[in-house]
Structure 1
Amino acid sequence: MIEARHLTKRHGASVAVDDVSFTVAPGTVTGFLGPNGAGKSTIMRMIVGLARPTSGTVTIDGRRYAGSPAPLQQVGALLDAGAVHPGRTARNHLRTIARTHGIPDRRVDEVISLTGLESVARRRAGAFSLGMGQRLGIATALLGDPDTLVLDEPVNGLDPEGVIWVRQLCRHLASEGRAVLLSSHLMSEMAQTADHLIVLGRGRVIADASVADVLARAGGGTVAVRTDAVDRLADFVRPMGATVTYLAADRIEISGLDADEIALAASRIGVTLFELTPQRASLEAAFLGLTEDSVEYRSGSAGRA
């Protein structure tokens, strides 16, 4: 379990992390989200002792990571997949790290197999593609069979099969009771992988809730309805507080009422429904809504240069 309490990190007059507190619980995949410059990478570095907080604390299972007698067995971290000597083979890289903790070579072979690196295990890391580099970084994080994983953008450079593999791996690790902190800019993937979300904006926590709660708070929930009596249904539900948008001759979108209320209304006036589909806000839309005031770098509108 990771516990951050009032974490603050200043660089001179600039505040990168501002009084941040959160918990990453065992048995869950916690998504770590935020615009560029929100403080995610700084916090991940503070978790594993690569950056020192100006104030506040962060502990793993009640102790500071730097004070762990066997840090690889406590936390597996992927913060920079490129942090590998380019002249070493993947297997020798893993063996070198394993020997710092007395980890046997058979575990090196296990993580090579687990991450799909068998065919390139004797190839120098400097010749790896970005995706293979990511797999080697994940293998390194798993080397000590840790109870806590900290993974910063692990799907960068992976093909669709690799992205799905990372999703399944994170879900499996959480199912074993491990705590997984995962950052990614792929909102659709995060929606399928994470149980809980911590969203940062300008160094502060702006959301700390389950994925379902974040989506529910985003609002925008509408219900798509198809019927051969759209006008009758629309006229009936508007006085109930509904807003109706016409999509086609036989299809409307209703907001302000949930699917059960619409179904009940239709039955009262004898209208047959051919479709009744709740439309929830996407995680991408929810994220953009949460962080719209926290984006440090904005793109210009498309147009002629």
Structure 2
Amino acid sequence: MIEANGLTKRYGSRNVVDGMSFTVQPGKITGFLGPNGAGKSTTMRMVVGLDRPTGGTVTVNGRRYAQHRAPLAEVGVLLDAKAVHGGRSAREHLVALATTHGIGRRRVDEVVELTGLTSVARVRAGKFSLGMGQRLGIAAALLGDPQTLILDEPVNGLDPEGVLWVRTLLRGLAAEGRTVFLSSHLMSEMALTADHLIVVGRGQVIADAPVDEIVSRVRTSTVRVRTPDAARLAALLSREAGVELASTGADLLDVTGSTAPAIATLAAGAGIVLYELAPVQASLEDAYMQLTEHAVEYRATPPDAPTATSTSTSGAHR
């Protein structure tokens, strides 16, 4: 279990993490989401003692990370898969970690096999692809057979088979009663993997709830219509004030700004047959975008926005 109470980290005059309180429960996968700059990485670093909090506390299994006599046996951590000496082989890297905790070579061999590294165990880590580096990082996190796992972007660089393997692995570990704390920017994968979500923005917790509950909060006003006469129905709907249409297939329309009863009435009056008429279900991505729309620090310039060279520079860049 991971418990944070009023966790704060200040750099200069800015609170990167601003009074966060949350609990990551055992027996489930908890996703950690937020825009770039939201404080996710800093929070994870404070959990494992790499950064010292300015205020508040955070414990793992009832103790601060530094108080555990054998941290690898308590907490498995993957924060940066590149944090490996490039001149060492995968097995040498794992043996070096194991030696610090009195972990036997048999366990090293077990995690090598578990993570699919057997054929490259004696290859220097510096020659690994991004995906193989991730597998080595996961192997290191699993080395001490810990009760708690903290993983930052663990599927980054993995192929579809590798992504499925990680998902299955984490679900199995959670089913054993272990605590799994997982950060990722891949909403589709998080929707398939996580049971619970902690969403942060500008250093504060925005949402802390089961995945289904967070998705159910999304406001949606889009109705999907399937009809063999999509063009004629679209023409009729386009005359309605505030209605927006999107063609998603030869006989499919997504209608925003109207309701299913109103569309059904309009279609019946025109003799248009409807095969399907249903609200579009919100996705985790929809929910995430709504939750964080006012918490994004770094926004890209829209493609059609004027650039600095196409506008007056009078008084600029002073």
TM range (shorter): 0.7 to 0.9
Offset from partner CA, 1:200-234 (integer Å, 9 cap, x none): 10100111111111111122164534468999xxx
**What percent of counterpart residues are identical?**
64
- 2:16 is aligned to 16
Alpha-carbon distance between aligned partners in 1 of 2:215 and 2:203, rounded to the nearest angstrom: 22
Equivalent residue for 1:282? 283
| 1:34-81: CA deviation from partner (whole Å, max 9, x where unpaired) | 111100000000111111101111111211111001111110000111
Instruction: Give, in angstroms, the shift of residue 145 of structure 1.
Output: 0.6
Q: Residues 228, 160 of structure 1: CA spacing in aligned structure 2 closer, same or farther, 3 A cutoff?
A: closer
AA aligned to 2:292 is: T
**Kindly tell me: are residues 280 and 12 of structure 1, through their superposed partners in 2, closer, same or farther at Cα, counting changes over 3 Å?**
same
1:91 counterpart residue number: 91
Contact 2:244/2:257 (<8 A) preserved: no
Read off the aligned partner of 2:59 and give its amino acid letter. T
Superposition RMSD in Å: 3.1
Unaligned runs of 5+ in 2: 233-242, 266-271, 310-318
Kindly provide the amino acid, as one letter, of the partner of residue 297 in structure 1.
Y
In structure 2, the partner of 1:27 is 27
Counterparts of 2:12 and 2:229, CA distance in 1: 65
- Single out whichever of 48-57 and 160-169 deviates more from structure 2: 160-169
Over residues 156-196 of structure 1, what are the superposed CA-to-partner deviations in whole Å (9 max), with x where a residue is unaligned?
A: 11112212211111111111111111011111111111111
Check conservation: 1:47, 1:65, Cα contact below 8 A.
Answer: yes
State which drifts further: 295-304 or 46-55. 295-304
Normalization by structure 1: what TM-score?
0.86
| TM alignment of 1:36-115, pairs within 5 A | 36-115=36-115
- 1:237 paired residue number: none
1:268 alignment counterpart: none
Deviations 1:107-164 (CA, angstroms, capped at 9, x unpaired): 1111111111011100011111111111000000000111110000111111122122
Structure 1: give runs of 5+ residues left out of the alignment: 232-242, 266-270
TM-score (norm 2): 0.82
Equivalent pair of 2:6/2:20 in contact (CA under 8 Å): yes
Distance (Å, rounded) in 2 between the aligned partners of 1:276 and 1:157: 39
SS at 1:19's partner residue? strand
| Count, aligned residues | 295
Alpha-carbon distance, 1:290 to partner? 1.1
Quickly say closer, same or farther: Cα 1:250–1:142, change in 2 above 3 A. Answer: closer
With over 3 angstroms needed to count, the CA separation of the structure-2 counterparts of 1:244 and 1:38, relative to structure 1, is closer
**CA distance in 2: counterparts of 1:218 and 1:74, whole angstroms:** 37
Contact 2:221 2:258 in 1 (8 A): no
Distance change >3 Å, CA 288–CA 249, structure 1 → 2: closer
